[in-house]
């Protein structure tokens, strides 16, 4: 019944009307660079997930460059569906990130709008155990579909998108951390940091993305704002299929960066190291979402991997 309801809303609902038109948020300064080149930190994950996350952040240069006691931090995971990791962000991984932020003294909010077939988002969060986690840690949990009037229209003037309706709560967030999965995707080729903000976009608008230039539009959503930090869970990955299921591999790594293009290219290179049937190009830089992001100055080619 949930999937039928989701499809109905996907086809019948319209984008919110008469919402404020706002400018894109100012471009972020990448806090993690060396010799004016973006860094991608990579560690082999151990059994202690929190330690693995702490290790990759330390290798990157330290979370204290971004977060101080009293700061508010918005986390965007991947809860497109209630399928298990790596289809969705691992809840134990999310817990580890939240605990590290809380250890610093930050206030944390987690927000998401799940995909059309898995509506409503609250049910997805409940099925995955995210509601229980939020209650346990005292974290604010926002399902964007529960706030029909809390939206802004971000005017980006992209090549393929003129504006994007986005949640006000995310637009007004002080600091943003993305927690993407690492997997292939049967329509968008792969899922990573650049595709993750599609979960912010109002569901009624998402159908138009699939009509034409899907990957280019996904890249242009990132013109609305950029994450301060990306932590990618590559302990498990799909190398074919996706987003909800696929051929499973276990790279056993965690990545972190302030550059969405760099961390995505590094992740795709890892996916390409496995023999599998997928839509990835041999050269990650030729992927439409990556090429479009570079065209808009959303990342750099000359990144440095530290491990």
pLDDT digits (tens, 9 = 90+) for 127-143: 999 999 999 999 999 99
- What does the alpha-carbon distance between residue 203 and residue 49 come to, in Å, rounded to a whole number? 33
Evaluate the omega torsion of the peptide bond into residue 127 and state whether it is cis, within 30 degrees of 0: no
Based on the number of CB atoms within 10 Å of its own CB, is 265 exposed (0-12), middle (13-18) or buried (19 or more)? buried
Over range 68-97, report the average pLDDT.
98
Write the DSSP string, 55-81: HHHHHHT-GGGT--TT-EEEEE---SS
Average pLDDT, the chain: 95
Residue 87 Cα distances to 91, 144, 146, 241, angstroms: 12, 20, 23, 10
pLDDT band at 16 (very low <50, low <70, confident <90, very high): confident
Provide the pLDDT for residue 1.
47
Q: Give the chain's domains with CATH numbers.
A: 2-11+32-306 (3.40.50.11440)
Least Cα distance to 39 among 226, 227, 297, 259 occurs for 259
Cβ–Cβ < 8 Å for 239, 249: yes
pLDDT over threshold 90, residue 104: yes
The pLDDT of residue 291 is 98
In eight-state DSSP terms, residue 197 is: G
The rounded distance, in Å, linking the Cα atoms of 52 and 65 is 19
Give 261-280 pLDDT, tens digit per residue: 999 999 999 999 999 999 99
The pTM score is: 0.95
Higher-pLDDT residue of 13 and 30 is: 30
Instruction: Give the pLDDT score at 252.
Output: 98
For strands 21-22 and 151-155, give the pairing: parallel
Asked if 182 contacts 263 with a C-beta cutoff of 8 angstroms, the reply is no
Q: How far apart are CA 130 and CA 79, in angstroms?
A: 9
pLDDT at 17: 79
Q: Burial of 256 by CB count in 10 Å (0-12 exposed, 13-18 middle, 19+ buried)? A: buried
Does residue 8 register a pLDDT over 60?
no
- The model's pLDDT over 155-179, given as tens digits with 9 standing for 90+, comes to 999 999 999 999 999 999 999 999 9
pLDDT above 90 covers a percentage of the chain that reads 89
Q: Quickly tell me which residue has 């637009």 as its tokens.
A: 171
């Amino acid at each position: 019944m949930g999937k039928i309801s989701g499809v109905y809303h996907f086809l019948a609902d319209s984008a919110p009307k008469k919402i404020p038109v706002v400018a894109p948020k100012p471009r972020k300064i990448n806090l993690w660079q060396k010799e004016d080149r973006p860094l991608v930190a990579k560690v082999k994950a151990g059994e202690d997930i929190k330690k693995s996350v702490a290790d990759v952040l330390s290798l990157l240069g330290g979370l204290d460059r971004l977060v101080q006691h009293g700061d508010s931090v918005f986390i965007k995971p991947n809860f497109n569906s209630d399928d298990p990791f790596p289809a969705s962000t691992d809840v134990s991984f999310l817990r580890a990130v939240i605990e590290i932020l809380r250890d610093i003294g930050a206030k944390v909010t987690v927000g998401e709008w799940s995909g059309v077939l898995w509506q409503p988002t609250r049910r997805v969060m409940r099925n995955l155990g995210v509601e229980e986690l939020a209650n346990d840690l005292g974290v604010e949990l926002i399902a964007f579909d529960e706030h029909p009037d809390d939206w802004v229209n971000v005017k980006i003037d992209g090549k393929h998108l003129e504006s994007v309706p986005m949640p006000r709560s995310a637009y007004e967030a002080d600091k943003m951390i993305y927690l993407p999965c690492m997997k292939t995707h049967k329509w968008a080729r792969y899922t990573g940091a650049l595709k993750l903000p599609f979960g912010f976009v109002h569901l009624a608008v998402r159908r138009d993305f699939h009509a034409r230039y899907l990957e280019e539009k996904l890249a242009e959503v990132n013109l609305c704002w950029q994450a301060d930090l990306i932590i990618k869970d590559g302990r498990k990955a799909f190398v074919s299929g996706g987003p909800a299921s696929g051929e499973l591999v276990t790279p056993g790594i965690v990545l972190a960066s302030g550059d969405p293009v760099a961390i995505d290219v590094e992740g795709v290179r890892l996916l390409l190291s496995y023999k599998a049937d997928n839509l990835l190009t041999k050269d990650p830089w030729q992927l439409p979402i990556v090429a479009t992001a570079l065209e808009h100055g959303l990342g750099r080619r000359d990144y440095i991997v530290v491990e």
